[in-house]
Structure 1
Amino acid sequence: MLEAAFESDDVDELRDSYLGGACHALALAVAERTGWDLALVWAARGRRTEIAHAMVVVPGDEELYLDVGGIRGLPEILDDLRTDPDEEEAIIEGPVGPERIHALTRGRHAHRRFGEIGPELAQHAAETADRIVAALVTELKSGSAPRP
């Protein structure tokens, strides 16, 4: 899906950005445009649990998610996040609303992986979400939406 919406050079940059800490901004922007629920991935290693990723839940299939990599299942997302299933347990929290993600960006509940979403990041995430949603609509109309 991303290949249809972006130049090939842009795809690598977007993946780095939205898999490397800005995923919550993109997930919020996509959810705002689609009305779809959000989900969080937590990675547990021993007694330590950290937030790993934010994404949008694909309606009708709670095992598919939409993020910067397109529509895909959790195993592919975890692979992109370099989460080792032998060492870390992935825990899905969801569906959640935007307020849950915002709570993870501020106050005593702030999580270091989910920084505050400033105007520049919000604008970039909005533009990226517009292109992802447009590509998704095109694929759904053509009947070729990806399935893992």
Structure 2
Amino acid sequence: MPRIADHPRRATAALALVLLPAVALAAMGAAGQADGPVRCEIRVAPEGTLMTLEALVHADKNVSGTYSFRVKSAGRMGGTDIEQGGAFDAAPGRPAVLGTVALSANGAAYDAALDVTVGGSNVSCTERVGGRK
């Protein structure tokens, strides 16, 4: 039976077939929130028996757009289902706070999602917070 290593063209083609999906996935991941003029962030800050979630947008230039910020219970504890959204303006130099949610930090877990749309382009952030440690 012929071995791939004995055929340089086959070895190159096999290597390309293995690496191509990995390179494509890396490019898709990098094109999300890190590149471009707009990046999103969900910032979590503990405050006593509460935790605060802030939906933020970072901009490299003056932008206007819309956002949707959703926080839902993850798991069996509670029935939290919060949705905020609307229009925003952001400028370079400091993040714009789009929305804030204060939640109980009693061991419940929450799933937070922020979707930002600027000029027809979308950027999304997700975060799971809380839960028993």
With CA pairs under 8 Å and 6+ residues apart, which has the higher RCO, 1 or 2?
1
**Structure with greater proportional helix content:** 1
Q: TM-score, normalised by structure 2?
A: 0.26
